[in-house]
Homo-oligomer: A and B are copies of this chain.
Amino acid sequence: MTVCTTIAECREHRGKLDRAALVPTMGALHAGHLSLIDIARKRAPHVIVSIFVNPTQFGPKEDFFKYPRPLEEDLAKCNAAGVDLVFNPSVEEMYPKGALADAAAEQVHLDIPPLTGMLEGRIRPNHFKGVCQVVAKLFNIVQPNVACFGQKDYQQLRVLSAMAAALNWPIEIVTCPTVREPDGMAMSSRNQYLSDAERQRALSISRGLFAARDEFDKGVRQTNRLIATVQNILLNAGTQGRVPLLIDYVAAVDAITLKNVELISAPTVLAVAARVGKVRLIDNVILTP
């Protein structure tokens, strides 16, 4: 496994590989990432993982500085998973400053407003601009044939698919199912921030989504009923404890347009964002009639 920290090295090593699949990550790799790597390996003979905590997708009050960066463990996991190339640049390498930099270039705006005004984009105003920017950079640096993204960040997946299509990147975007803990909790690098009590409280997110999915499977198509089911479980389950849970949103949106859905007649994403203690968590299920 080769580890590159500069763009030039990465291009050079990439040039030696044939078809390759990219798994973009911010590190702190868990079983969800390893599942992306497994899927990537099935799609192309070579797998490239980027590990980069991208500052431009964090808000000023978010957890950029305390985001976990266990690089040694991440590299060991990539190596064990048969990854060919890891690209692990510094912030300076990706966003150069000083004489070499093009100051204006740092202010490129790349966005797809019809897909970023709702859900995460409404709560985190510049988040998707940062995500589009860094993924466009990674696409052009790594030039993968395939790129794998997890369904857990559904809006991100949708925005990046639309971006790749709109600008004709010759890259197939692969949707990878959310990997969950045995109790149903969606894997996330931020789960490690949770205390035991918070983790129990946070479990109501996946429980709420699963309960709504059960109702959907039994024929319920009105999203206000499904949303109410999720909200009730989020707000009532575990109120005996002293751990608060704040809902950012519970929403049912069309899987393509991300517009709100009232009556489900096409694939619909039931999505939750909530804060438990200081930890912000998201999860979703896709309801396909």
A residues within 8 Å of B by Cβ? 7, 11, 102-115, 133, 136-137, 140-141, 143, 161-163, 165-170, 256-258
Contact = CB atoms under 8 A, between A and B. Distances in A.
Given A7-B168, A104-B258, A105-B162, 5 more contacts: A105-B165, A133-B166, A137-B167, A140-B168, A141-B170
A108 B105 contact: no
A166 to B, nearest CB: 4
Chain B CB count within 10 A is highest, among A110, A161, A258, for A110
5 contacts: A102-B166, A103-B114, A105-B163, A137-B168, A143-B170
Nearest to A140: B168
B108 A104 contact: no
Chain B CB count within 10 A is highest, among A11, A104, A109, A168, for A104
A167 B136 contact: yes
Contacts of A257: 103-104
Contacts of A104: 112, 114-115, 162, 256-258
Nearest to A106: B166
Nearest to A158: B104
B114 A107 contact: yes
Q: Is the interface of A mostly helix, strand, loop or mixed?
A: helix
Nearest to A114: B104
A58 B102 CA distance: 27
A112 B108 contact: yes
B112 A109 contact: yes
Contact of A108 (B106, B137, B162): B162
A104 B134 CA distance: 20
Contacts of A110: 108-110, 167
A107 B107 CA distance: 19
A140 B143 CA distance: 10
A163 B137 CA distance: 11
A112 B107 contact: yes
Contacts of A256: 102, 104
A140 B257 CA distance: 24
A3 B44 CA distance: 31
Contacts of A169: 140
A140 to B, nearest CB: 4
A170 B112 contact: no
Contacts of A112: 104-105, 107-109
A43 to B, nearest CB: 19
A139 to B, nearest CB: 8
